[in-house]
Structure 1
Amino acid sequence: MKKMQSIRNNTTLYVSILTFIGLVSVITLQSIWLFNTYKLIENNIQKESYATIEKALEEEGNMRFGQTPKGTKIKSGPTNDTIPPMTYFYERLSDMGYPMSLHNLDSITAELLIQNGLGKQYYIYIINLRTGEKLNGIGTQREPSFMAIKPKYFPIRSDYTQVVQLIITNPNKTFLERMGLLIIATIIIMVFVIGSITYQIKIISRINKISQIREDFSYAMVHDMKTPLSSILSALNFLQGGRLDSKPEMKEKFFNIAKDEADHLLTLTNKVLTISKLENNKLEMNCEMVMLKHLLLKISEKFKAKSPKPVTFKFDLEAESIYADAEYIEEVFCNMIDNSIKYSNDSVDIKISSSENSKYSIIKIYDNGLGMNEDDQLKIFNKYERAYASRKKKTYASGFGLGLNFVQQVIEAHKGKIIVNSVEGEFTEFIIYLPLILKEL
């Protein structure tokens, strides 16, 4: 068992590491993809911004040229990669007494930015590139954000004593419009990946839990079947050897031991089969009126005789009968009384009462045993759950952890319900509700 637990833990660790690596890889790839897309869009916006200010300058220059006398010609100068041909045009106009109008440039730029989908938040600087001095400026927003787009300078004088720079001070909306679908797709992919990984981890955890339950069940089954099987084999050896032929009372005693232990094994086997049938809705309840007093006295006498500790029973039966399957309801009471005895101190007092309301027969089974906390009360009806009392006693609690699950399944098959009230270290009380009349099950 320890080896299997170690293998399971190692497997869980390896899967967790691989899952973490996979998640980090996916997030890294998505981040690289988003970053590269962002830089590509940023580069495109820079080019579009430069083209916008270039066109705005051209239109503003043509407006100034329209003010010159007819027949005016403006001679260009030598051009290269840094000085565009239009630079001499703007320079000559200024030297001729037609200076740049920042307001006209601002109006033209604002209109072009809107047409090109570059937003309304910008600022235009006139800068002496030789000294770095900002000579003038105009626009809708002067302070740039950390995402501001700053395209290259456009010289309006060939000696770079005046250059124009358009800054898109807050291009967030533009980025969002151009990357919106990509961002949404990325979020969907990440949610899907994280959801899938989370679901995978839950499945692995559930598989490990089921594996642990199977091991615990196998251990409990072997433990609980070993004792009665040993008793049966010992009794049969005595009976087969003929040593008790001259002692009929002892022979009868060993025969009864073998029979009782065989009945015990059969009961355990039937309990497992019954739960399986109940869960698959293959078990039919044959209900009839069952006299409570007769049934409970029979059960109490059986437990008094075989219990290893003193047991006292007290009955308060206002409702004398219930409508139930006699065989299965007897097994229900046996399971609950067995639990009361098993999970108690050196002695146990059990009180069983019955009553009726307009819909249900109500049976209460109270004991002064170990009790349980609220967390245990939420899970005691789960299959294979049997450790809560053992933790209090620090001893092995025999059984497969099927008893209370069996009880719940049978009660629900009767269309009834069962609840538990308990205080740790003081008492436990189970309350069973069975319909008064149940024509179909």
Structure 2
Amino acid sequence: MTRNAIRLIIITGSLAIAAIIGIQIFWVKRAYDIENDRFRQSAVEALNEVANNISRIYDLTEIETPVERLEDDYYVVNLRTPLDAAVLEHYLRQEFKRHDVNTSFEYGIYDCDTDEIRYGGSVNANFEIDHIEPTILPKTDKFLNYFGVRFPSKGSFLFQNLDFWILSSIVTLLITGFFVYAMFVILRQKKLSEVQRDFVNNMTHEFQTPISTIRVATDVLAQDKIMEQPERMKRYVQIIKQENLRLKNQVETVLTTAKVGKGKLELNIQLQELHVLLSEVLESVKLEIGSGLTLKLDAEQTSIYADKVHLLSVVRNLVENAIKYSKKPADITVVTKNDDYGVVLEVKDKGIGIPEEYLGKIFNKFYRVPTGNVHNVKGFGLGLNYVEQIVKAHKWKINVESKYGVGSIFRINIPQEK
């Protein structure tokens, strides 16, 4: 699947999901508004019945519109006589239950002598008395005698009646989550596919070069007259040995990286002398680039606990990586020094550097920094990932500083036991 096709699928799917969510929000809001209107109508009808029942008790004429809504959850009811709280609570329970207003409410009665609303009581959704702290209900100047009713749990009561819409919203969110996850999987598989393709291409190229060299060398050695040229035969034998070692190192790199990825890497930690190991691993590098390699081994305390084989591989990878990305002639410096925590090992180069946007990716498996017009850089994209994994396995720290066009510094902090 092409990148444009994936992009089209993502855009189309995102628009479809956005439309579904928008429609869902619209219908949920509309359903909520309908329930709110129904609740308001039921509350007004119930309070009208309460007012009429009380008027009949006191032989008063009925008031045409005794109920007024002051706030979304607060109503006041006009009366023309003082009222007893017990009588009011009885009729409130009766009418709310009859009109299916099954939610908690608070009520209070206005006292004109004190010009305040006396707290009447609080009733829960089961129409039982709640023993809670009294709340101050708002007053109004529109009526002389009145009582007020507040529904503090109105919002939750309305949402209880929207169970279908809540369920459909949950299903929509699940579908949205599944779509997002599916897009994530598709993009990840696309990336893995590209990485795998690049790795196979790099591996094929890396293996073909020594294999071709070995084949040519063996063809030369198969000639009868080569026996008459011992120096030439010795040179071709050496070439075969070098290319065989190169193949061996490449295979070991792939296998070791696979072990690290599976968590099966076992380290043989022993006390090592860092400078001795550096001299051992950098001897062949000096033969290759000569004066291009500078050693500044300033550390005085150099005893560390490490796996010798993997530490040598880490240093070799960092130095070879510096050589790959350096302009000719190479200028590479290996530095050791002590700090408050232990030994610091640095590999510096004055190569092409790493652009800032790629610094966070260079330790990813199979990742290779785009090199523009530089096409002579070989490798699997495993070296720096291997270095990071070995450093982490030793519980060390590694960081990199780089400036494009100037060079890079790879720094490993190795703690020492006091």
TM-score by length of 1: 0.65
Give the 3 Å change call, closer, same or farther, for CA 58–394 of structure 1 in structure 2. same
The equivalent residue for 1:250 is 232
1:217 is aligned to 199
Give the structure 2 partner of residue 178 of structure 1.
158
Q: 1:56 to 1:328 in 2, by over 3 A?
A: closer
1:335 aligns with 2:335: no
Selected match of 2:78 from 107, 112, 133? 107
Give, in whole Å, the separation in 2 of the partners of 1:141 and 1:194.
52
| Alpha-carbon separation, structure 1, partners of 2:396 and 2:342 | 8
Q: 2:30 aligns with which of 31, 35, 42?
A: 35
SS of 1:245's equivalent in the other structure is helix
Cα distance in 2 between the residues matched to 1:62 and 1:435:
92
Preserved CA contact (<8 Å) 1:311 1:350: yes
In structure 1, what is the equivalent of residue 401 of structure 2?
421
Query: What secondary structure does 2:228 align onto?
Result: coil
What is the rounded CA distance, in whole Å, between the counterparts of 2:192 and 2:299 in structure 1?
A: 44
Give me the whole-angstrom Cα distance separating, in 1, the residues matched to 2:41 and 2:67: 22
Could you tell me how far apart the structure 2 residues matched to 1:286 and 1:63 are? Answer: 97
2:181 paired with 1:199: yes
Out of 8, 33, 48, the residue aligned to residue 13 of structure 1 is 8
Aligned alpha-carbon RMSD (Å):
4.2
Provide the C-alpha distance between the structure 2 equivalents of 1:294 and 1:56, rounded to a whole number of angstroms. Answer: 98
Deviation at 1:271, TM superposition (A): 0.7
- Contact preservation (8 Å) 2:299, 2:343: no
Match of 1:315 among 296, 320, 326: 296
Which residue of 261, 269, 279 corresponds with 2:261?
Answer: 279
Distance 2:226 2:361 in 1: 49
The answer to whether 1:382 aligns with 2:364 is yes
Post-superposition CA distance 1:55-81 (Å, at most 9, x none): 4786598589x57xxxxxxxxxxxxxx
Q: How does 1:78-89 map to 2 (within 5 A)?
A: none
Q: Which amino acid aligns with 2:324?
A: K
Distance in 2 (alpha carbons) for counterparts of 1:416 and 1:384: 22
Confirm or deny: 8 A CA contact 2:349 2:409 kept in the other structure. yes
What is residue 132 of structure 1 aligned with on the other side?
none
**Distance between the aligned counterparts of 1:181 and 1:431, measured in 2?**
63
Letter of the aligned partner of 1:21 in structure 2?
A
More displaced stretch, 14-23 vs 181-190: 181-190
Question: Rg: which structure is higher?
Answer: 1
Q: Which residue number in structure 2 is paired with residue 235 of structure 1?
A: 217
Would you say 1:395 and 2:375 are equivalent positions?
yes
The superposition leaves residues 309-358 of structure 1 with CA deviations (integer Å, 9 ceiling, x where unpaired) of: 97232332434554332222221111111111111222222222223456
For 1:133-152, list aligned pairs within 5 A. none
Q: Which amino acid aligns with 1:409?
A: Q
Amino acid of the residue matched to residue 12 of structure 2? I
For the Cα contact (< 8 Å) 2:260–2:389, is it kept in 1?
A: yes
1:344 aligned residue: 326
Change (3 A) 1:104 1:351: closer
1:36–1:403: structure 2 CA closer, same or farther, 3 Å change rule?
same
Q: C-alpha offsets along residues 158-215 of structure 1, whole Å, 9 cap, x if unaligned?
A: xxxxxxxxxxxx9998566323573766765555554444333333322222222111
In the alignment, what sits opposite 2:391?
411
Q: SS in structure 1 opposite 2:227?
A: coil
Give 1:376 deviation, angstroms.
Answer: 2.7
Query: How many angstroms apart in 1 are the aligned matches of 2:92 and 2:377?
Result: 80
1-side partners of 2:393 and 2:161: how far apart? 54
Cα deviation 1:354-379 (Å, max 9, x = unaligned) = 23456533222222222224443322
Q: Match for residue 262 of structure 1?
A: 244
CA distance in 2, matches of 1:212, 1:360: 41
**Offset of 1:243 from its aligned partner?**
4.5
C-alpha separation in 2, matches of 1:421 and 1:368: 12
Which SS does the other structure have where 2:331 is aligned?
strand
SS at match of 1:324: strand
* Alpha-carbon separation, structure 1, partners of 2:397 and 2:305: 14
Aligned residues: 354
Q: 1:178 to 1:306 in 2, by over 3 A?
A: same
Summarize the Cα distance change of 1:334–1:51 in structure 2 as closer, same or farther, 3 Å threshold. closer
**8 Å contact from structure 1 (residues 316, 354) kept in 2:** yes
Relative distance call for 1:222 and 1:28 in structure 2 (3 A) is same
Gaps of 5+ in 1: 68-97, 121-138, 143-169
C-alpha contact (below 8 Å) 2:52/2:62 kept by paired residues: no
Which residue number in structure 2 is paired with residue 24 of structure 1?
Answer: 19
The 2-side partners of 1:400 and 1:200 are apart by 29
Deviation by residue 1:126-147 (Cα, 9 ceiling, x = unmatched): xxxxxxxxxxxxx9699xxxxx
How far 1:273 moved relative to its partner?
A: 0.9
Could you tell me the percent identity over the aligned residues? 26
Find the aligned partners of 1:387 and 1:173 in 2 and give their Cα distance: 60
Q: Distance in 2 between matches of 1:15 and 1:423?
A: 36
Counterparts of 2:397 and 2:63, CA distance in 1: 90
